Amino acid sequence: MTTKPITVALLGSGVVGTAVARELTRNAADFEARVGAPVQIVGALVRDASKDRSETGLPADVFTTDAEGLVERADIVVELMGGTEPAKSLITKALENGASVVTANKALLGEAGPELYQLAMEHGVDLSYEAAVAGAIPLIRPLRESLAGDEVTKVLGIVNGTTNFILDKMDRTGANLEDVLAEAQSLGYAEADPTADVEGHDAQAKAAILASLAFHTRVRTSDVHCEGIMGLTAEDIKAARRAGCVIKLLAIAEKVERDGADGGPGVNVRVHPVLLARSHPLATVREAFNAVFVETKLAGELMFYGRGAGGDPTASAVLGDIVHAARHRVSGSHGAGESAYANLPILPIGESLTRYVVRVEVADEPGVLGRVTSAFGDQGVSIESMRQGVRRSEDGLASLTFMTHEAPESALATTVDTIKKLPDVTSVTSVLRAEGI
Amino acid sequence: MTTKPITVALLGSGVVGTAVARELTRNAADFEARVGAPVQIVGALVRDASKDRSETGLPADVFTTDAEGLVERADIVVELMGGTEPAKSLITKALENGASVVTANKALLGEAGPELYQLAMEHGVDLSYEAAVAGAIPLIRPLRESLAGDEVTKVLGIVNGTTNFILDKMDRTGANLEDVLAEAQSLGYAEADPTADVEGHDAQAKAAILASLAFHTRVRTSDVHCEGIMGLTAEDIKAARRAGCVIKLLAIAEKVERDGADGGPGVNVRVHPVLLARSHPLATVREAFNAVFVETKLAGELMFYGRGAGGDPTASAVLGDIVHAARHRVSGSHGAGESAYANLPILPIGESLTRYVVRVEVADEPGVLGRVTSAFGDQGVSIESMRQGVRRSEDGLASLTFMTHEAPESALATTVDTIKKLPDVTSVTSVLRAEGI
């Protein structure tokens, strides 16, 4: 074939960038056959251009420290730096120059995705980001293209491998969070500063990206209600286990039909721990794996499962996007853009409807059960079931577990505040949202 | 928007066609926003044009009995007739006229896919078929596009809902196949003539389509070794259950690296019942659901799960393809074609390597175990474990269950033939291939 090569610039030469470079070099003939033209790396951004990088199979003069110059001389710019700057400026420059962009940068997309999608459309180029959510799992393209004729109503995803590893391990061993987190750090599943994972911020950005795609609406990271896993105790996990459940950190995006004056549907996006029936398909997702459950009007329930992180899995997603963009460069076209035409309102978290499991510790005195039950009723929160734990006779305390019907977050919050102040109530031990129970 | 409408012709107005027409009509504004132009049904092929079809929301003059005329006057021809003719002639004519084609016709694609893909590429139009395999599950596009930069090594799929319903029911109730099949027929999960499902022919065509895509090689239905489920007894299912396993009918496509003179990889594609560990993700697929497990070099293990049949789920996949083709018509481009560049040889079934579970009934006489064991050894089939069932003292018979290491199909077949002829061997009760055990 004598077709003009499609040129690629790599911004970032970490574990993913190295895997991408290795595959494009080693399997050059396959990529040429699949694209219809050779795919050639013309530059890779590094911090130190003198370091030995022979394992990539690239000639030494490909490596450069000049990011600005690099984005001007490639058909496809692959951004693997992470963080918002200088990634945003470089991607903006690349798109304005008419290059297609492939990125794995969820933080940037969660914050500035809408502007960047718009810019890509204006310049008639591709902006692809399969690797930004759930690593190797084909999810962005199915949502954007395969389900383009259907109506997504709910997305429920385990999109952070670190927290899933921790919660799965706590479930299987009964250990407490601090010990498992330390183990996850020593195994490389959690970073030295695990904040972004355990506080849910990583999942929060991914939830925004998924919700935007699923509902054709602009959702930013800051629109997503977020709670992490640090408040979970070994006792929470054990109590879940006794109830035939498991606790998972989920990214949840729902399209909600609203009655009344406001009318019209809205979007509810949140990240928090969820009590999940052990029979739910997401409950079986082990270790650092990711899985995303999608409910649609026509297709019904769909699930996508696979590895959410790691050099090779992430490279698989990035390479798929490179082939996609390269095929379009060869045919002089570009893929479907993002659509935000639906422009649905983002609902406040207080309006979200969920079922709750509330555990309360009370002094075992007459009348206390009635007072706690009334606190639910006063806010219109309907109780589905109540279970009283074994009484600890030595301290005269009893544990009550309430499962509610669907109730608004705000009504539940008021209920919990009221219960905390009741006489004979020692503490509200835990409040968990439930799915599929 | 004043853009020229994209015109659609529907060939087939059954349950899927009706759902497609209903959605395109009812959600016309959504489709217009997603495509960038109105999507308009200009004709629907029916057997009887006078029948009342007001539920589709289409004007009565859209319905026609003139198939030949219809394919000449649409941008996108949607073929939902099934069978090879006249579907093949009509699709050929549409592609030659420069129309894009969306089809759910696995029988036709399994037989004549390669010619039709070629024809679509020559005419620069899309030929999409997401609905042909695993119904609503986005699978074709992920294989063709998302994994285009990776190397698929194995596909393992539950792609026939009827047989999965039957095997799942047998597993959960202990009933025999004939009774469950009758129930499946009365529930509408199996057809009056269930041959295509229970003999594996439906899965066989789907296996050919998946293998072609996964390995960039032309695989036809006739290249796929096929065994159905009619030979399975309630006792087989119960024995599997006792061993912590479940039996599923799987479509399996593998890329096999071969040593020796021939060298180079080959492709092995087959459909048959498989003994699967209950912990394998595919083992949990219940009722008429479908799921496909994909192993790749970089991404590792991926799974896709959802509804494999039904009017609305199939319509979801067809509508996604219509939007895909319509977007390309608007932008004057077309999507990635099929590539068959790898052109790998299809290996004979005798060369496929699998682990087997063989149950043998023998007279409980000295020496019989040694003779049976030698029959395996003589063919180079290595035994991993042997279990002797409870002796039935009344008839002096014993049941032996052998699990082998990976062995070629041909060596195992010879072993079984030898064992059948041994003195003191009453019968070879069952021979099952195993995965993930």
Per residue in A200-227, pLDDT (tens digit) is 999 999 999 999 999 999 999 999 999 9
Q: Which helix (H) or strand (E) holds A251?
A: strand A245-256
Cα distance between residue A166 and residue A176, in whole Å: 9
- Smallest CA-to-CA distance from A298 within B131, B30, B136 is with B136
Tell me: pLDDT of A1 over 50: no
Question: CB distance A331–B333 less than 8 Å?
Answer: yes
Tell me: pLDDT of B225 over 80: yes
Residue in A20, A129, A146, A322 to test binding to B, most B beta-carbons within 10 Å: A146
How does pLDDT run across B274-320, given as a tens digit for each residue? 999 988 889 989 999 999 999 999 999 999 999 988 999 999 999 99
**Beta strand pairing call for A397-404 and A353-363:** antiparallel
Across residues B8-13, what is the average pLDDT?
92
pLDDT (0 to 100) of residue A220 = 95
Q: Could you give the 3-state DSSP secondary structure of residue A103?
A: strand
**Beta strand pairing call for A300-307 and A289-296:** antiparallel
Question: CB distance A137–B302 less than 8 Å?
Answer: yes
How does pLDDT run across A295-345, given as a tens digit for each residue? 999 999 999 999 988 999 999 999 999 999 999 898 877 776 667 788 888
Q: Could you give the 3-state DSSP secondary structure of residue A223?
A: helix
Across residues B19-34, what is the average pLDDT?
93
Tell me: pLDDT of B226 over 60: yes
Counting one residue from chain A and one from chain B, the pairs whose CB atoms sit within 8 A come to 190
Active site residue A88: no
Cα distance between residue B266 and residue B268, in whole Å: 7
Cα distance between residue A389 and residue A405, in whole Å: 20
Cα distance between residue B310 and residue A298, in whole Å: 10
Cα distance between residue A85 and residue A90, in whole Å: 8
Residue A361 phi, psi (nearest 5):
-105, 125
Tell me: pLDDT of B91 over 90: yes
Whole-angstrom CA distances from B337 to A299, B236, B340 are: 25, 43, 10
Token readout for B261 is 């003179």
Q: How far is B396 from chain A (nearest CA, A)?
A: 44
Vertex B6, ends B1 and B7: CA angle to 5°? 135
Helices (H) and strands (E) in chain A, counts: 14, 17
Tell me: pLDDT of B265 over 70: yes
The answer to whether A61 touches A86, Cβ cutoff 8 Å, is no
Helix axes B409-421, B368-378, angle to 10 degrees: 150
How does pLDDT run across A342-371, given as a tens digit for each residue? 888 898 888 888 999 999 999 888 888 999
List helix spans (H) across A27-128: 28-35, 67-70, 87-96, 106-122
| Nearest-by-CA chain A residue for B324 | A145
Q: What percent of chain A has pLDDT over 70?
A: 97
Question: CB distance A313–B334 less than 8 Å?
Answer: no
Q: How many CA atoms lie within 13 A of A23 on its CB side?
A: 27
Whole-angstrom CA distances from B38 to A64, B21, B27, B321 are: 48, 14, 11, 16
Across residues A123-145, what is the average pLDDT?
93
Which positions ≥6 away from A191 have C-beta within 8 Å? A162, A185, A197
Q: Which of A88, A106, A169, A206 is catalytic?
A: A206
Whole-angstrom CA distances from B162 to B165, B248, B294 are: 5, 11, 22
- Split at pLDDT 50, 70, 90, the class of A52 is confident
Residue B133 phi, psi (nearest 5):
-130, 125
Cα distance between residue B422 and residue A308, in whole Å: 53
Which region among A100-109, B47-56, B82-91, B157-166 has the lowest average model confidence (pLDDT)?
B47-56
Q: How far is A226 from chain B (nearest CA, A)?
A: 28
Residue in B15, B125, B139, B146 to test binding to A, most A beta-carbons within 10 Å: B146
- Split at pLDDT 50, 70, 90, the class of A50 is confident
Question: CB distance B148–A331 less than 8 Å?
Answer: no
| Residue A144: exposure state from Cβ atoms within 10 A (0-12, 13-18, ≥19) | buried
Token readout for B359 is 């149950």
How does pLDDT run across A3-37, given as a tens digit for each residue? 799 999 999 888 999 999 999 999 999 999 999 99
Cα distance between residue B119 and residue A63, in whole Å: 43
Residue type, A148: A
- Split at pLDDT 50, 70, 90, the class of A392 is low
Average pLDDT, chain B: 91
The answer to whether A425 touches A350, Cβ cutoff 8 Å, is no
| Structural domains of chain B sorted by starting position, each given as residue range(s) with its CATH number in brackets | 6-135+311-331 (3.40.50.720), 142-307 (3.30.360.10), 349-435 (3.30.70.260)
Residue in A297, A302, A336 closest to B137 by CB: A302
The answer to whether B150 touches B328, Cβ cutoff 8 Å, is no
Q: Which of B206, B248, B255, B297 is catalytic?
A: B206
- Smallest CA-to-CA distance from A321 within A127, A147, A145, A135 is with A127
pLDDT (0 to 100) of residue B1 = 44
List helix spans (H) across A332-408: 368-378
Question: CB distance B149–A305 less than 8 Å?
Answer: no
